[in-house]
Structure 1
Amino acid sequence: MNFEILIPIVLFICIAYTIKVVVDARVRGRMIGAGGSEELVKSILLDEEQRRRHSSLRWGIVLIFVGLAFGLIQWFGWQEVTPGMVAVLAGATGLGNLVSFAVSRKLA
């Protein structure tokens, strides 16, 4: 593997994520410091927590379906990248998103 390419990409992702975390923390701090009602702050923080949980649920379900698609590809013995193989992966991703949507609707 060519690490000369991988290292700058990972570094960029880490820097972008660090900036996001710092900005989110500042927004929360200003929101609390602005003297808003306690109920408003709690509802915003609860909504943010629920979005994080739904995001984790979504990615978990999508990755399970993509893993199943790779299992099917291995089971059928496909060795070359063909439009059919790409369709199986795309269909699994779409199906995973639809299932996660349905599950999140039931949880809400």
Structure 2
Amino acid sequence: MYPILIPITLFVCIAYSIKTVVDAYTRRRIIESRGSEELVRSLLDGEANRRRLASLHWGCVLVALAVGFGLVEWIGTERVTPGVVAVLLGATGLGNLAFYLLERKQK
């Protein structure tokens, strides 16, 4: 199983690196094209807001998953069963819903 994870991880890292470089290049081109100061400021403010929301999103999902894993451990399940998968998927869904509610409350 582990030998297959290495190429998958490598592919994900390469794809993420390419995305990051393309995004940085695009931002640089917009700034260099002498775009209006308002456009540059809104671009940078929008990016900061997206980062903040991404942190909130992942925080909600990971906390909900931690609760789900804790529940699975508390029940004492030693095998992966459909019930265990359902608990973890439900925890992930609840984390996403919590993010949605928190994000709407911020606006």
Cα offset, 1:45, TM superposition = 1.4
SS, match of residue 48 in structure 1? helix
The aligned runs of 1:37-76 (5 Å cut-off) are 37-76=36-75
Please tell me whether residue 31 in structure 1 is matched to residue 30 in structure 2.
yes
**Distance apart, 1:70 and its partner CA:** 0.6
> Is structure 2 residue 104 aligned with structure 1 residue 91?
no
Secondary structure of the residue that 2:22 maps to in structure 1?
A: helix
Q: Which 4+ stretches in 1 moved above 3 angstroms?
A: none
Aligned to 2:100: 101
Aligned residues: 107
Distance 2:35 2:24 in 1: 16
TM-score normalised to structure 2 length: 0.90
Displacement of 1:42 in angstroms is: 0.6
Describe the SS at the equivalent of 1:22.
helix
- Which range moves more in the overlay, 6-15 or 97-106? 6-15
Q: How large is the Cα RMSD of the aligned pairs?
A: 1.4
1:7 Cα deviation from its structure 2 partner = 2.3
For structure 1, the 5+ residue unaligned runs are none
How far did 1:5 drift? 2.2
Displacement of 1:49 in angstroms is 1.3
- Secondary structure at the residue paired with 2:78? coil
Q: What is the rounded CA distance, in whole Å, between the counterparts of 2:6 and 2:85 in structure 1?
A: 28
Whole-Å Cα distance in 2 between the matches of residues 40 and 99 of structure 1? 32
Percent of residue pairs identical? 58
Determine helix, strand or coil for the equivalent of 1:15: helix
- The TM-score, its normalising length taken from structure 1, stands at 0.90
